[in-house]
Structure 1
Amino acid sequence: MDLKNEINNDNLPQHIAIIMDGNGRWAKKQGMLRAFGHENGTKSVQTTVESCAKIGIKNLTLYAFSTENWNRPKIEVDTLMKLLISSLKKELNTLMKNDIRLNTIGNIEKLPSSAQKQLLEVINKTKDNTRMTLTLALSYGSREELISAVKKITSKVKNNIISIDAIDEAIINEHLYTQNLPDVDLLIRTSGEHRISNFLLWQIAYAELYFTEVLWPDFTEQHLYEAIISYQKRERRFGKTSEQIK
């Protein structure tokens, strides 16, 4: 049965974020190196991106590489960077065909120059696409993002650009990497882990959290639909009572 038919198109999450976890464990189960898992994980990325665009999701953010991932063995980091470049080259036509705009958040300057060049090239070529925004979190850490925002705001207060009394949620949002994105409605994490791992801590304040045992390379279109259906069955109160919502 295609779960797509059970989705309520009038109640879609406007922003889905995914912690794509389990590539290494998936590879280990196959008796292969971790790189094999990362390579197969790209297939799930393509499936998820196209499926989100197909049903009308406006924003999809994927946790592709964290600030902490730089601490992994150099051979794995090098493999991930090469995979990023090759995936960007390969998927450009798919992004254009599906009218998807590529965006990125994180400390991109830490990426190898070749990866930065390829990333910016695809971002530029897709900048006029409007169907969906695909954001890759690269060299991203939420704490680093918040520190950066605090520094920018502090500097503006110091230089009398804004007053300290004017600082509110809107001001903070304007200084985050995600300033042009709405808050996350649905956060999905694969592989059975139940933690956020320094991902979009501010932006998921009222997100619905969905954890699945499925390892990322095994994550299919139907698994995505299961997460969305679970989201649609929940009552989002944002601090209010059920009676107030009704």
Structure 2
Amino acid sequence: MKKLFAEFFGTYWLVFGGCGSALFAAGFPELGIGFAGVALAFGLTVVAMAYAVGHISGGHFNPAVSFGLWAGGKFPIKDLIPYIIAQCIGAIAAAGTLYTIASGKAGFAIDNTKAGAFASNGFGAFSPDGYSLQAAFITEFVLTMFFLLIILGATDKFANSNFCGIAIGLTLTVIHLVSIPITNTSVNPARSLSQAVFTGGEPLAQVWLFWAAPILGAIAAGFIYKNLLQQHGEPDKIVL
């Protein structure tokens, strides 16, 4: 249960901090943090929770990460569904908190006919810059695949684990810098579901892509790392 609570709180903080920055601070008049600020917010939430509770649960905070670690032989299949449920509940709870806070401003309403409403993900007319379903799928697949390759490499027994949280957080920052204009960045099915639940409409109808593409990309990364990259003997010495 401690592992599941760690995943709940870790995912809650990721969605609250990342999506909260997008909702409240990204476009604030004159002082808005913009895309770069939102990207950094997502990265920092992962860094913080990786060091806070990563030692308890492994610090997944993302169903795609759980699938990728399973495919890479680093996570037991019996824990897959419980982790995903805890992550989704944490994400939806965070989205509910954000909705409650946003409702405290006069005139607040979610316009689910616009791209990025309530920090939701989308493609086509619901992509921030009008990218197609195909473009969105490729983006989410490739970025999640590399995200998992970096996670698997940074947490490998031969890697310097003291800095793995920083490497993972910076990677998530870069991912957002690339893909916010394309899909509003998912690479995390729980994060996509949580915002879509409160947005409804077409963003909720499109959420399937933000489960399928990240999970498939993560599974591909797990198999690639396990079969092509993972070091089984003593690591090669680095000559400077």
Task: Compute the TM-score of the two structures, normalised by the length of structure 1.
Answer: 0.29
Q: Which has the higher helix share?
A: 2
If you compute each CA radius of gyration, which structure gives the higher value, 1 or 2?
1
